[in-house]
Copies of this chain bind each other. A is one copy, B any other.
């Protein structure tokens, strides 16, 4: 496994990799959710590239950036164990040299939900992902379903800027208690952790109601909201039923749908979602 820390060394190493090439962008602090992405890439692509970069520009909250867990040695060991061929782990200066000035705004798809909760977040995501795709030149890029709006922002970016990459969306990996895996979960106390499971329980209630023919977006969203609000340690951010691809509001809960929830528990921002619709997990589009 090659570890490239500069654009130049990445470029040289990338040129030696046989295609197709799968890329898994990460901010490190790897958990089983990341490993699922890496395994999906390993199964499908001839070469696998992982990127490891805690991208400051997508953190609207500097204390969240400071608190973001970092353990490069463990991350590199995990990449190695997953059969990654090349890791790109650049410095901040390598990604944002003096004079850097470009910002990509993904438009309406990134404007509300997480975009409203975290101003500037998706612009930071879109800009760094465009850079990482241009640097690593993937055939396919693997993204986790947990950050559903992020997958839609990146799909929009790829389509709008005509980036030559195919996206593969990999289902969310959950702990035994149902909590979606997230690098931020380590910051939860045991009590907070129990409260955090309300996100998934609320989503399960809503999905069951949908199975039982509930088609009111407001009624489905309320099931999630009420479940989270029943936890004194949790503060609801939003609970929304949206069109799964455009993220627009819907009058009737017909597929493709996403039921998305955000909450804060002990100062930690948590999100989760369920997607209702055929074939969405494979490539993020119908």
Contacts and interface: CB of A to CB of B under 8 A. Distances in A.
Contacts of A127: 161
A157 interface: yes
Contacts of A137: 164
A101 B160 contact: yes
Contacts of A104: 102-105, 161
B107 A161 contact: no
Nearest to A107: B101
B134 A102 contact: no
Nearest to A164: B134
A130 interface: yes
A157 B99 contact: no
- Most chain B beta carbons < 10 A, residue from A104, A109, A159: A104
Given A161-B134, A162-B7, A103 B105 contact: yes
A108 interface: yes
Nearest to A97: B159
Contacts of A159: 97, 99
A241 to B, nearest CB: 20
Contacts of A108: 101
A127 B162 CA distance: 11
A108 B109 CA distance: 25
A161 B130 contact: yes
Interface in A42-96: none
Interface string A152-195: 00001101111110000000000000000000000000000000
A116 interface: no
A135 interface: yes
B101 A156 contact: yes
B246 A99 contact: yes
Interface of A: 7, 97, 99-109, 126-127, 130-131, 134-135, 137, 156-157, 159-164, 246
Given A101-B160, A104-B161, A105-B105, 9 more contacts: A7-B162, A99-B159, A101-B156, A102-B161, A131-B160, A131-B161, A134-B162, A134-B164, A137-B164
21 contacts: A7-B162, A99-B156, A100-B160, A101-B107, A101-B108, A101-B156, A102-B104, A102-B105, A102-B106, A102-B126, A102-B160, A102-B161, A103-B105, A103-B107, A104-B105, A104-B161, A105-B105, A130-B161, A131-B162, A134-B161, A134-B164
